[in-house]
Structure 1
Amino acid sequence: MTPTPPPIQSVQQACSVTSAAPASTAWTGQTGRPTRFLLLRHGQTEYSAQRRYSGRADPELTELGHAQAAAVAAGIGSVDGTDKVSAVLSSPLRRARQTAEPVAAALGAGPVTSHEGLLETDFGAWDGLTFAEARTRDPEVHRRWLGDETVDPPGGESFAAVGTRVAKMRAELVAAHPGETLLLVSHVTPIKMLVRQALGSGPEVLYRMHLDLASLCIAEFYPDGGASVRLVNGRFPVTQV
């Protein structure tokens, strides 16, 4: 595996570039008001601390994970436009909801709504295994899975299938919330998929993008089909555990 790259910038450094353009036409050519997605990855669990696949497994946040959620809740108000969050949607899994709830409370954005489209990839038989363990268990499938987004883990879900359900969710949310700002609390793969779709890039970006736990990405989707990415892997410092 390639070394993990450093995050692009902190949330605080990114605040100056997250404002939506006030005009009805963006400088990149899109028209209308975009729906802004604040894409928050959940905090640490025992599985993530041990670098285990945790798709539909439902571990709770660790002490550090709760501290990460609290840091997001304390700092997200510094991100321009978060005072306009109209809804908070979360993966139904416990680690995402435990991250979403304190942030929603801090934003005064009302109750958290679960959305199946925000679920992590179903890793099937690999759930709970490390990378090395999954490779040892199914060497040929694992090798093909790393290079082909249409390959399913044994009993699981391909990245291509995740992309399809995420695209369906995105279209529904843009239609239902035109020009609004939504906080979506999810997992690494659905967030990467939404960033990929906003960039209009190929599958290789899934393997080259690093997202820290409790990190924030911001993507905007316009009613005419255009999109832009305003932040990738913004972090909220944890001061104590």
Structure 2
Amino acid sequence: GETPLTPEKRFSGSGGTDPGLSDVGHRQAELVAASLAARGTIQAIVTSPLKRCRETADAVAARLGLDVRVDEGLRETDFGAWEGLTFAEVRDRHPDDLDAWLASSKTAPTGGGESFAAVARRVALSRDKLIARYAGRTVLLVTHVTPIKTLTRLALGAPPESLFRMELSAASLSAVAYYGDGNASLRLLNDTSHLR
């Protein structure tokens, strides 16, 4: 859901201030919870440890009567020195670093941030553990833009640069189905119909 940084399109990863949901974000969490309750398919909830996701997961859990499990692997990218900055501010302050980051998933943001390649390894490891733990169950993952795009990219077998070709809205729903043979299929991406 939306935080105070979302409308300004500021980098807000796991290396920053860990903002909670804004008033709009809390309303979005309630709308997501109502939508998921109406579908009636969620059997478990796993969330990023960051506050905004925990608040969203708690809203859904309260509606569904489920417990919430925290998975560190679902946290957002650490954007290093870019935390709290807009893309334009990063372009002004760190133009060469930004160009390198946009050109290679192995390049980390300025100041010790996390590369998208590192995020992909972390997210894939969490995915594999979650698939083993919750085999045959429908699990809600409450996470962030980069982990969702990464799960989508991996399900599609798409290259790392595809991360820059997907748009995700705050409090949107995406769905990936995983099969026993190791294959996956994208079922839904960036659905915001519950927010209207």
What's the TM-score bracket when you normalise by the shorter of the two chains? over 0.9
Match 1:70 to one of 30, 35, 60: 30
Aligned to 1:195: 152
* Map of 2:102 onto structure 1: 146
Alignment of 1:1-241 (within 5 A): 43-56=1-14, 57=16, 58-79=18-39, 83-108=40-65, 110-154=66-110, 155-238=112-195
Contact 1:89–1:183, Cα closer than 8 Å, also in 2: yes
Query: Among the aligned pairs, what percent are the same residue?
Result: 51
Note the residue ranges of structure 2 that are not aligned, 5 or more in a row: none
Cα shift at 1:114: 1.0
- Over 4 Å off, 4+ runs: none
Task: For structure 1, list consecutive stretches of 5 or more residues without a partner in the other structure.
Answer: 1-42
RMSD across aligned positions (CA): 1.2
Per-residue displacement from partner, 1:105-157 (whole Å, max 9, x unpaired)?
A: 2122x221111011000001100111011111111010111121110002100
Aligned to 1:27: none
Secondary structure of 1:46's aligned partner:
coil
Distance 1:218 1:75 in 2: 14
Higher Cα Rg: structure 1 or 2?
A: 1
What secondary structure is seen at the aligned counterpart in 2 of 1:172? helix
Kept in 2, the 8 Å contact 1:44–1:61? The answer is yes
For residues 164 and 74 of structure 1, the distance between their equivalents in structure 2, rounded to whole angstroms, comes to 33
Distance 1:237 1:111 in 2: 23
Give the aligned residue type for 1:123.
F
TM-score, normalisation: structure 2: 0.94
Q: Which has the higher helix share?
A: 2
RCO (CA 8 Å, sep 6+): is it higher in 1 or 2? 1
What TM-score, normalized by structure 1, do the two folds share?
0.77
Letter in 1 for 2:49: P
Q: CA deviation at 1:221?
A: 1.2
Structure 2 counterpart of 1:128, one-letter code: G
What letter corresponds to residue 93 of structure 2 in structure 1? R
> Displacement, 1:178?
1.1
Classify 1:237/1:86 alpha carbon distance in 2 versus 1 (closer, same or farther; 3 Å).
closer
- Which whole-Å deviations, capped at 9, do the CAs of 1:42-75 have from their partners, x for residues lacking one? x101111111000022011111011100111112
